[in-house]
Structure 1
Amino acid sequence: MFTVSTEKAAYHHGKLRDALVRTALALLEESGVEALTLRAAARGAGVSAMAPYRHFADKADLLAAVAEQGYTDLRDRLARADTAADPRQALVEQGVAYVLFALERPALFRIMFGASLGSGLPPKPPPAGSAYSILATRVAGLVPEEQREAAVVAAWSLVHGLACLTVDGRLYHQAGAASPEALARQVTGLFAAGLPA
C-alpha cells in the first residue's frame, strides 16, 4: 500500500515555513520564548525535527520570522485603528491600538523590539505600509513640513515607550489611570492636542 508522507502532503509549495511561524507564534504566546525551539515548532506543526532547517538556520532565524509576522500584525492593527474622521482622534486611536497590541501579545512585542534581534527598527526607512509608516503618515498630516520628522519621532517614542512601560508593569498603576487603555488614550490625546495646527 502506498502512503503519502503527512509532512509532504500537508506542507506542499512552501506552506511549511508559514506553518512553523504560526506554530512558533502560538508557542511564544502560550509558553514564552524559552519554550520556543525549532524542535518544539516542528512538533507543534506535526513534522520531523529536521524539517524546520529547510527554512530556518537556527532559533534566531525563526525568531526573526516571528518578529516579521509581528510587524505585519501591528501594521494591520494600526491600519484598522486609523479610521476616525478627525485626524487627531485617528492618531489617538493608533496610539491606543499600539499599546493594546503590546499588552495583548507581550512576548511577541518583546521579540519584535528586543535586543536579541537588534534594535527592532529596520536600519533603513521602513517600507510604505509598515506600522511605522502608518503612524508617520497620520502625524505628518497634522504638522507643518519642517516639523514632521521630529513630530513622527516624538509620536513613535511616546507610544512605544508607553507600551514598554505598561507591558513591564511599571507605569499605569502609578499614573492613577483606570486601565492601560485609558492611560494610552489620555497620553496620546495630550500629545495630539499639543501638535501645532
Structure 2
Amino acid sequence: MNAYHHGDLRRAVLDRALQVVADQGPTSLSLRAVAADLGVSHTAPRHHFGSNTGLLTAIAVEGFGMLRDRLVELREAGAPFLELGVAYVEFAVEHPGHFAVMFQPTLLGQDPALDDVADATFAELRRGVEAIAPHGGVADAAAVVTAAWSLMHGLATLELTGNLERSQIRQMLGVTDIAAIARRAGGLLGGASGGAP
C-alpha cells in the first residue's frame, strides 16, 4: 500500500476504508490498520472520524448522498420507475464499499447528517408510489414499490456476493449486463416502460 504523503487525509482514509470494506467486509475495517496502510500515525484518522463506527458512518453518509443524487437526477429527467431500480443496482455494483455499509444500521453511529441523507434517499424511492399510482391498475402501489426495492436490493446483493455468477443465471437469461438483467427482472413488476404492472 502506498504511504500517504500530502493532501486530503480524510479522503485518503475514506478511499482506503472503502477498499477494505469492498474486499473484506465492514467488520474487517480497522482505523489503526488504515492509518498504517497510509503511513500515518494511528491517531491521525481519529481526528476526522473518532472511531471505526465514525468512519463507517461517514461512508454511509457519502453513499446515501451519491445514491440520492443519482435518483434525483433520473426523476428530474422523467425516467420511468424501473430505471430508478436499475440505477440502484448499478450504484451497488459501482460502489460496493458504500453499499456494504449503508444498510447495516447496527454498524453505524447516531448522526443527524446520516438521518437526513438516508431519509432523503428513501423519499426518492417512495416517490415510486407517486410515479406508478396515476397509471391505474395498481391495487397497492406501496406494495409494488416495496417489492421492487426488495427485488433490486436482492439482485444487487446476489451480484456483489458472486451468487448471480455461481448460479449461472446469466447463462439461463442469455444476458450478461447487470443493468439488462435488472431491467428484465424489474419489468415483471412494472412493465418494460416502468409503468404500472
Q: Is TM more than 0.5 here? A: yes
Per the alignment, residue 44 of structure 2 pairs with: 51
Q: Which amino acid aligns with 1:71?
A: F
TM-score (norm 2): 0.68
Q: How far does residue 134 in structure 1 lie from its aligned partner after superposition?
A: 1.6
- The percentage of aligned residue pairs carrying the same residue is 38
| 1:78 corresponds to 2:76 | no
Per the alignment, residue 61 of structure 1 pairs with: 54
Cα distance in 1 for residues equivalent to 2:115 and 2:55: 20
Question: Do the aligned partners of residues 62 and 159 (structure 1) sit closer, same or farther apart at CA in structure 2, a change above 3 Å counting?
Answer: same
| 1:127 corresponds to 2:111 | no
Please, what is the CA RMSD of the aligned residues?
Answer: 3.7
Cα distance in 2 for residues equivalent to 1:57 and 1:63: 11
Would you say the 8 A contact 1:162–1:184 is kept in 2? Answer: yes
Partner SS state of residue 49, structure 1: coil
Partner SS state of residue 133, structure 2: coil
Question: Do the aligned partners of residues 67 and 126 (structure 1) sit closer, same or farther apart at CA in structure 2, a change above 3 Å counting?
Answer: closer
Cα distance in 1 for residues equivalent to 2:38 and 2:18: 12
Cα distance in 2 for residues equivalent to 1:76 and 1:124: 13
| Structure 2 residues without counterparts, runs of 5 or longer | 109-113
Question: Do the aligned partners of residues 170 and 67 (structure 1) sit closer, same or farther apart at CA in structure 2, a change above 3 Å counting?
Answer: same
| Structure 1 residues without counterparts, runs of 5 or longer | 1-6
Per the alignment, residue 96 of structure 1 pairs with: 86
Would you say the 8 A contact 1:139–1:155 is kept in 2? Answer: no
Larger gyration radius, structure 1 or structure 2: 1
Q: Which contiguous aligned blocks of 4+ residues in structure 1 show a shift greater than 6 angstroms?
A: 122-125
Would you say the 8 A contact 2:18–2:97 is kept in 1? Answer: no
Per the alignment, residue 147 of structure 2 pairs with: 154
Moved more, 152-161 or 41-50: 41-50
Would you say the 8 A contact 1:82–1:93 is kept in 2? Answer: no
TM-score (norm 1): 0.68
Cα distance in 1 for residues equivalent to 2:48 and 2:92: 27
Cα distance in 2 for residues equivalent to 1:154 and 1:31: 29
Q: How many residues align?
A: 179
The structure, 1 or 2, with the larger RCO (C-alpha pairs under 8 Å, 6+ apart) is 2
